[in-house]
Structure formats: structure tokens, C-alpha cells
Structure 1
């Protein structure tokens, strides 16, 4: 059994779903493992991770609008240290994932045909985000 780790830096342009599948799969391929489990962890409280539809941009836009409706900006939040999108960003992150686990079978991540890995930025302004990757396998 082997393990490999790295940290990927991702600069987001602001609010929305930003695909990181290619960067993750390239790193996994470089590790030379055939079977195992990849863990992807985002080191932030106002952004999250999703495995989502990667063929139809409308699906991503619908998701973004949905989260804007269920966790809207509001003057009623007490926590607004970094602006009006601060608390809604934390709520959206709490409703999604900070960690994903993806099996590695035959040297490839077992994502479905239309699945991609997305960093879901919940803040309006650009941010530098860190993804910790841990691959355990052989």
C-alpha cells in the first residue's frame, strides 16, 4: 500500500462552480497507482466541493441559482465581517461538501460519464483556494 499527497492551489474568479477535474486526474495519473481511494478536501469555510454534471452548463447555473435562493444575502445575519456575502457563503458550504472520496479502479478515477469535480465558490470576489489531495492505493 502506498500513499501520495499534494495541495492544489485554485484561483477562483468569484461566485460559481469551477471545474477542477482535469487538474485532479492529471495529478492522480502521475502517481502511477492502479487501485485505491482519492480524498479531496477543501481547506476553507466559504467554499465547497461537488461532483456534478459536467456536460450541461444549465445544470450548474440552476444549482447556483438554487443556492442563492436557499441561502440569500441578507442584512439579518449577524456574521458579516467580510461583507454581505459572508454568512451566505458559510451556509452554502455547510449544505454541501468539504471532502469528496473517489475510488481509483484500473488507474482511473471512477467518475461517471457526465460527472466532474467542482470547487463551488460561495463568495463574489476572487479567492485563492487550497485543495488537499490524498491518494491511498497500490
Structure 2
């Protein structure tokens, strides 16, 4: 029948158009959501052949005594400035002064104490804490290493605006250093039996010096 033949021809003509539209739609989905397609494509394989890289990570055990600080442990900071009594040239033991100025040390189970002197004509050091002759000998030795004048009293340095002892003081400060760092253990400075904190003054006249103390560590 003519009508039936015409309807069949029309249906057969629509099939390629519908297939083409479906293919274009799938390609559009792939372009917009490539990750989803990759997940659907690889899901059966991942279920059959699990990757060893996707194993659950086990939590790390807590450190034992003396171990590293964990993420739960909070590192505490403290900073303070204090002044030393005015002193003329010489080497002085100031361990007791530091402890008096920093009672906060007793609150720390483990940590570091950093002392920094804010001047360029003096220094800090760790050295002999018993025989005061060592400190006197240290000052005399530094004077011999960096003298104020030559054998005949002649000037040795260009920088003398503040007196002949100024430039030698700068050199001595550079040789010894402006800071010391001391470990803290159980609320005390973990120095050796014969170690003490020295303040070395290199100017002839008395000077008052300022120290910045910084504590970093874990409180008890």
C-alpha cells in the first residue's frame, strides 16, 4: 500500500538521525565530564584488581621518651629584655643574674634559651664558672690579641672617634660573639658542671648592656 510504504521509508530515514544525535550527546557528556567517564570505565577493573597504593594509612605511634614533638604538642615561645649592671672592661659570670631575670625557665620541660646582647662592644660566651682567674686571664689575652696601640703608643686603627678602646672592642666582640644558646631540661639550664654564662665588656668605661632572652620549648 502506498501509505504503508511511505511510513516505512520515513521510519528508516529517522534511524540514522537518531543514532547520530545519541552519539553526539555521548561525546558531549565525555567532553564535559571526563573524570566521571574515566571512573565508570575503570570501576570494574579497580574492583577486580585493587591497587596497593589505595591501602589505608595506619596512624603513626606516639613517640617514646625523648622522641620528636608530635602535632598535638604545642611549642611555646617567650621573650623578654633585661639589663645587666653597669660594668667596665672585664669578663663577668652572669649565670645567676640570668636565672633571676628569667624565672620562666622553670616552666619548661624541654627547650632552648637564646641570649642576645644588643651591643657591638661586648660579647656573651659559655666558659669556666669556678676559678675567676680564668676570666681575668681571658680579658688580658684578648687585650694582647687586639691591643689599643702599637709598641710605641702609635695609633693602630682608623676608627677612633669614641676613643682608642672602641675599635678593639668591636674586634673582640666579633671574635667572641653576641649570643649563646643553652638547652633547657626539666626546668633547668642543661649546662656542664664547669660551664657558666659570661658577659665580656670590652670598653674601658662602665656601660649598661641590654640582653634579649628568647625561650622556645615545651612546657611541663
**TM exceeds 0.5?**
yes
Say how many residue pairs are matched.
138
Which secondary structure state, in structure 2, belongs to the residue aligned with residue 30 of structure 1?
helix
Partners of 1:28 and 1:116 in 2: how far apart?
Answer: 15
Unaligned runs of 5+ in 2: 1-74, 150-154
Which structure has the larger Rg over C-alpha atoms? 2
Q: Tell me which residue corresponds to 1:17.
A: 91
- Give 1:34's match in structure 2, choosing from 109, 127, 131: 109
Q: Tell me which residue corresponds to 2:125.
A: 50
Alignment RMSD: 1.2
Which secondary structure state, in structure 1, belongs to the residue aligned with residue 170 of structure 2?
helix
Partners of 1:30 and 1:59 in 2: how far apart?
Answer: 30
Which structure has the highest strand share of the two? 1
Residues 26-58 of structure 1, C-alpha deviations (whole Å, 9 max, x = no match): 344334111100100010000000111111111
| CA displacement at 1:115 relative to structure 2 | 1.2
Which structure has the highest helix share of the two? 2
- Is the CA contact 2:77–2:214 (under 8 Å) kept in the aligned structure 1? yes
Q: Tell me which residue corresponds to 1:122.
A: 202
- Is the CA contact 1:20–1:118 (under 8 Å) kept in the aligned structure 2? yes
- Is the CA contact 1:49–1:99 (under 8 Å) kept in the aligned structure 2? yes
| CA displacement at 1:10 relative to structure 2 | 0.9
> Which structure would you say has the larger RCO, counting Cα contacts within 8 Å and 6 or more residues apart?
1
Aligned residue runs from structure 1 range 63-78, under 5 A: 63-74=138-149, 75-78=155-158
- Is the CA contact 1:29–1:108 (under 8 Å) kept in the aligned structure 2? no
- Is the CA contact 1:35–1:105 (under 8 Å) kept in the aligned structure 2? yes
Which secondary structure state, in structure 2, belongs to the residue aligned with residue 12 of structure 1?
coil
Q: Tell me which residue corresponds to 2:188.
A: 108
Unaligned runs of 5+ in 1: none
Q: Give the TM-score taking structure 1 as reference length.
A: 0.94
- Is the CA contact 1:28–1:135 (under 8 Å) kept in the aligned structure 2? no
Which secondary structure state, in structure 2, belongs to the residue aligned with residue 128 of structure 1?
coil
Q: Give the TM-score taking structure 2 as reference length.
A: 0.60
